[in-house]
A and B are shown apart, each in its own frame.
Chain A
Amino acid sequence: MSDYIEKNQDNDGVDRRGFLKCMAWAGTGTLCLVQGGVLKSFALADVLQKNVGNLKGDLSFVQISDSHIGFSKPANPDVTGTLREAIAKVNALPTPPSFVLHTGDLTHLSKPEEFDTLAESLKSLKTERIFYVPGEHDVLNDNGAMFHERFAQGTQGDGWYSFDQKGAHFIGLVNVLNLKAGGLGNLGHEQLEWLEKDVAKLKSSTPIVVFAHIPLWSVYPQWGWGTDDSEQALSYLKRFGSVTVLNGHIHQTMQKIEGNITFHTACSTAFPQPHPGEADSPGPMKVPAEKLRGLLGITDVNFVRGKHTLAIVDSTLQG
């Protein structure tokens, strides 16, 4: 298989074969980067050892997700330890990320001491700022009041917001509140209305990055891995040339490209979950201790101005 673009129908710098090749390596530590319309891939070990040059984009940031502080079951009795390892991984990147996105499930049971441990641990991240969206485990019992007070001050509605960085527009959405019986993740009317207005003023050439906990695409509705009203949200983003959607919740990397929208889910820093339908339920998956770190990880995202596709690199805690 060639490393170069063979069929690039969307003129977005990525063809399907090249993309699949990239994906086959994701999770084992590979950097995929689009430069001059050519998809290139590098072993992450080489990136970390700075054996490859010219990987710098205009903006790089890191996504971490699903820390589940407070979880202590056999699938991982030391989630604080693996979070620290994830932080060390971020701090070892050749270029410190401009900021870090935490896409939810900071805690396992929404307890104050769990939020404390999470906040204390993340203080050692070498980055300027951390942005958060809640997972369903962060809003138990109080509809997210504690999360909101500690991690979402100054945001709109139930905690949604947007900000601009280096010409890209970032949107943090909340889809874990007011869930309806039998349903999936939920954005709700008020948030959708806000989103429509938020992007209305932007030029179609503005790169958009949306982040939320539960996937905004239908990964596996049988397990609740999707969002009921995500279609409407995405309809507001169709006119944009580059949209990247970053989610957590499913504790494994998965990626899909639909038109100009790239969907990506991140690993957990706490415990893995089974592939869709490959177990009786999506509960925490116990794997042999030596395999755990190969299933946990972080996601590094590079944005090069003028290029449509963001370079998304998943790296595990192993090695």
Chain B
Amino acid sequence: MRRRKIQQGRTAGILGTAIFGAAAVLGLVLASGALRPRSAIATQEQPGAITVTIDNFSFAPMQLEIKAGTEVIWINKDDVPHTVVSDDHKLFKSRALDTDEKFSFTFKDPGTYEYFCSVHPKMTGKIIVK
């Protein structure tokens, strides 16, 4: 089978949050006064991007501390598909990532973000944004 390498969600997730995101999420963003200008969203390939590796049915590192505005890239190194989904199912949600496929999301606001793999929900992770 042909394997496609795709990078999805680099900006779609963020735009999705800003434009289509649930009222609760938007409200949170507004309340924190952190709604950034669109130009910030479009920032590509930030040099400080941090990678979380999905391997052996776990996220490594399982817990990650980053500064606000950091892009996190997940890459699946397993032979089975995994997803990266925020616990609220809204803030970020990847499609199923096949081997070597990636998903990324930029965390703009400080807070603790828990997420899991919706295919194998025992797989959980946490991003702490300072």
Q: Which residues of A contact B (CB under 8 A)?
A: 70-73, 75, 108-110, 136-137, 140-141, 179-184, 221-224, 280-284
Contacts and interface: CB of A to CB of B under 8 A. Distances in A.
Interface residues of B, number: 24
Given A179-B121, A180-B121, A181-B87, A283 B81 contact: no
Contact of B79 (A73, A184, A223): A73
A108 B121 contact: no
30 contacts: A70-B1, A72-B3, A108-B80, A108-B81, A109-B81, A109-B96, A109-B98, A137-B81, A140-B83, A140-B95, A140-B96, A141-B96, A180-B121, A181-B116, A181-B121, A181-B124, A182-B116, A182-B121, A183-B121, A183-B122, A221-B122, A223-B57, A224-B120, A224-B122, A280-B56, A281-B56, A281-B58, A282-B57, A283-B79, A284-B80
Given A184-B121, A281-B58, 13 more contacts: A71-B79, A109-B98, A136-B120, A137-B119, A140-B81, A179-B118, A181-B124, A223-B57, A224-B121, A224-B122, A282-B57, A283-B57, A283-B78
B65 interface: no
Interface of B: 1, 3, 56-58, 78-81, 83, 87, 95-96, 98-99, 114-116, 118-122, 124
A30 B114 CA distance: 48
B74 to A, nearest CB: 16
Contacts of B119: 136-137, 140, 179
Contacts of A137: 80-81, 119
Nearest to A225: B122
